[in-house]
Amino acid sequence: MKKELQNLRNKALKELARVKDLSAVEAWRVAYLGRKGTLTQLLRSVGQLSAKERPKVGELGNRIKEELQTALQARIQELEKEAQKVREAETLDITLPGRRPPQGGLHPVTRTLNEIIEIFTPLGFSVYEGPEVEWDRYNFELLNIPPDHPARDMWDTLYIAPPYGKGQDMLLRTHTSPGQIRLMQEMAPAPLRVLIPGRCYRYEAVDPTHEWMFVQVEGLAVGKKITMADLKGVLSHFARQMFGEELKVRFRCDYFPFVEPGAEMAIECFVCHGPGCRTCKYTGWIEILGAGMVHPQVLRNGGYDPAEFSGFAFGMGVERIAMLKYGIEDIRYFYGNDLRFLSQFR
Ligand code: DAH
């Protein structure tokens, strides 16, 4: 019987060491220490032994029982520790820093356009947009540029394949000036002050100051008693707001078919400041806009009576303004889609 008890103990301890999880431990407990467990049953049979043997075997049996119970508790703790380790290893490390999504910014041309609009808005100018694909009539004829007129050479035009009906040529607008006609026709005979921004297209030889696609802002003010003094005042104010008091501004006579008289406003070259360089085509000046008093025929085409109404108009290239503002030396950077350039304006 003693031998039996020893064997049982050894077997039980060996098995317990091999047990892998808590439910297997419980099965082990039931098998040896449970009410019908092998050890329990063996201990029960101790009562049948002789009075001489009983105490010794009983004592050994109880010791083994205690030993097994202690081993059981120790094994349970061990298994729980292991389980904890596994849980810790599997836990998500939520301290990992997140990935920043790439952040965009406004294109320098958009920013500059917004700045221009902000300067004119307090002067009472609102914003209007016309179509980029335009009729010849609006882009040229109603602006006093009939077909075959030599002034058409001032705009290298991208025509859309005809025909669209007799005398209805379609083109990519070469300037924002057709917006003048559209707006006057909509508003006449009410006085108006408006900015017309938008993309323009030309069949252009591309160089540091010319692109085949660019953005213009047109300005138009029509009312009673508007004079050239208003034109100069508004545009000088604009130049001072945009570039500061120091930069020199120059007005000279120029010709545009839709104004009379016509003018050109130039600004001191921001690269060479005078002596001449590639950017200013060796003149020391960069023309930033054309302007003039709205031609009587154009007023008439827009629905205004030139005996009663007058107005001034101007048109400027937004890229040129941005180049001056940010010291950019080549207009081609704007549309090169190079983030090394664009991200500098965030
Ligand atoms: N539309 C002209 C151009 O693209 C610029 C211009 C000149 C606009 C004189 C005007 C103006 O409104 O009065 O070259």
- pLDDT above 90 as % of the chain: 52
23 and 115, same structural domain? Answer: no
What own/partner pairs with CB < 8 Å and gap ≥ 24 does 69-76 have? 69/33, 71/13, 71/16, 72/16, 72/25, 72/28, 72/29, 72/33, 75/16, 75/17, 75/19, 75/25, 76/22, 76/25
71 and 34, same structural domain? Answer: yes
The gap from C-alpha 4 to its chain's centroid, in whole angstroms, comes to: 83
The gap from C-alpha 282 to its chain's centroid, in whole angstroms, comes to: 38
Q: Answer whether residue 163 shows pLDDT above 70.
A: no
Mean pLDDT, the chain, whole residue set: 91
Find out whether 49 and 1 touch, Cβ atoms under 8 Å: yes
253 and 141, same structural domain? Answer: yes
Assigned domain for 103 exists = no
178 and 41, same structural domain? Answer: no
Higher pLDDT, 177 or 345: 177
122 and 155, same structural domain? Answer: yes
| Enclosing domain of residue 261 | 108-345
Quick one: which atom of ligand 1 is closest to the CA of 177?
A: 1
Beta-strand relationship, 310-317 and 133-135:
unpaired
Would you tell me the crossing angle of helices 53-90 and 2-18 to the nearest 10 degrees? 0
Global pTM? 0.71
- SS percent in the chain: helix, strand, coil, step 5: 45, 20, 35
Assigned domain for 96 exists = no
* Counted domains in the chain: 2
Determine the average pLDDT of the residues in 7-22: 88
Residue of 314, 316, 319 best suited for mutating to test ligand 1, as the one with most atoms within 8 Å of CB: 314
pLDDT tens for each residue of 105-160 = 999 999 999 999 999 999 999 999 999 999 999 999 999 999 889 988 889 999 98
120 and 18, same structural domain? Answer: no
Find out whether the beta carbon of 317 lies less than 6 Å from any atom of ligand 1: no
Determine the average pLDDT of the residues in 177-202: 97
Q: Answer whether residue 278 shows pLDDT above 80.
A: no
259 and 304, same structural domain? Answer: yes
pLDDT tens for each residue of 61-114 = 888 889 889 988 989 898 899 888 888 888 887 788 888 898 889 999 999 999
83 and 121, same structural domain? Answer: no
- pLDDT above 70 as % of the chain: 98
Please identify every residue annotated as catalytic: 155, 175, 202, 216, 259, 313
HSE-CB for 324 with a 13 A CA cutoff? 26
pLDDT confidence of residue 196: 98
Residue of 138, 195, 211, 258 best suited for mutating to test ligand 1, as the one with most atoms within 8 Å of CB: 258
Higher pLDDT, 271 or 297: 297
